[in-house]
């Protein structure tokens, strides 16, 4: 166990990977979110579980029919944004929108008696929203770090946040509020 780790809470960072930050679906907003997230995890390292999901598709993955080829496992498009991996307590590869589906994420969290999740990442309206849904249906308390999220199509961001509040009862905080919870003064 990490020294000083707050029991019962974890931070899940969804898909801050090459193709979603600087690659095929990347944007300047995605780079800003990735850089801000890196600043946050540097401050929180060793204070809480920090889990990072990594979209990692197989060749000819069925999802490619919708989005085209992206985040192929073993390519730079599926690797975490520069500098992030070193702060991860655990990296969770995933093939589906919901980071819980078909991965060991739930088992890992339950083994550590985690009940409260902070979630951020890309894309707010796809993988973040589906991961929030997966967490909700598994009984976790969820807080979304809103300004550390972005959508591939940014116009979908706010609608996704509203849906997560309405459908899953998520609490909303921003980066500085999140850091205030964990960074000693």
**130-141 pLDDT, tens digit each:** 999 999 999 999
Residue 1 has pLDDT above 60, yes or no: no
State residue 173's pLDDT score: 97
The pLDDT of 2-9, averaged and rounded, is: 67
* pTM (two decimals): 0.95
State residue 104's pLDDT score: 95
pLDDT-above-70 percentage for the chain: 96
Listed residue (5, 33, 10, 24) closest to 140, CA to CA:
10
* Residue 143 to residue 164: CA distance in whole angstroms: 10
Name the burial class of residue 84, with classes exposed (0-12), middle (13-18) and buried (19+) by CB atoms within 10 angstroms of its CB: buried
Give the ranges where the chain is alpha helix by DSSP (H). Answer: 18-21, 28-44, 64-67, 105-111, 129-137, 157-168, 175-182
DSSP state of 125: I
State residue 182's pLDDT score: 77
Please tell me the total number of residues recorded for the chain in this structure. Answer: 185
State residue 143's pLDDT score: 98
The pLDDT of 57-72, averaged and rounded, is: 95
Q: For tokens 């690797």, what's the residue?
A: 79
Residue 2 has pLDDT above 60, yes or no: no
Domains and CATH numbers, the chain: 9-182 (3.40.50.850)
State residue 5's pLDDT score: 60
State residue 185's pLDDT score: 46
Sign of the Cα pseudo-torsion (172, 124, 20, 134, in order): positive
State residue 181's pLDDT score: 86
The pLDDT of 145-170, averaged and rounded, is: 97
Average pLDDT over the chain reads: 94
Tell me the pLDDT tens digit for each residue of 94-141: 999 999 999 999 999 999 999 999 999 999 999 999 999 999 999 999
* pLDDT band, very low/low/confident/very high, at 3 (cuts 50, 70, 90): very low
């Amino acid at each position: 166990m990490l020294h000083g780790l707050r029991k019962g809470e974890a931070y899940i960072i969804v898909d801050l990977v090459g193709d979603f930050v600087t690659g095929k679906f990347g944007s300047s907003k995605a780079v800003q979110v990735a850089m801000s997230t890196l600043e946050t995890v540097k401050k929180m390292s060793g204070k809480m579980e920090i889990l990072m999901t990594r979209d990692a598709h197989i060749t000819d993955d069925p999802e490619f029919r919708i989005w085209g080829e992206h985040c192929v496992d073993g390519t730079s498009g599926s690797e975490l944004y520069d500098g992030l991996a070193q702060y991860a307590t655990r990296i969770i590869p995933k093939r589906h929108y919901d980071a819980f589906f078909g991965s060991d994420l739930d088992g890992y969290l339950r083994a550590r008696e985690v009940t409260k999740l902070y979630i951020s990442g890309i894309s707010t309206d796809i993988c973040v929203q589906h991961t929030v849904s997966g967490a909700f249906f598994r009984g976790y308390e969820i807080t979304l770090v809103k300004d550390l999220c972005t959508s591939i199509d940014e116009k979908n961001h706010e609608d996704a946040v509203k849906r997560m509040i309405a459908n899953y009862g998520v609490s909303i905080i921003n980066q500085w509020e999140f850091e205030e919870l964990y960074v000693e003064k």
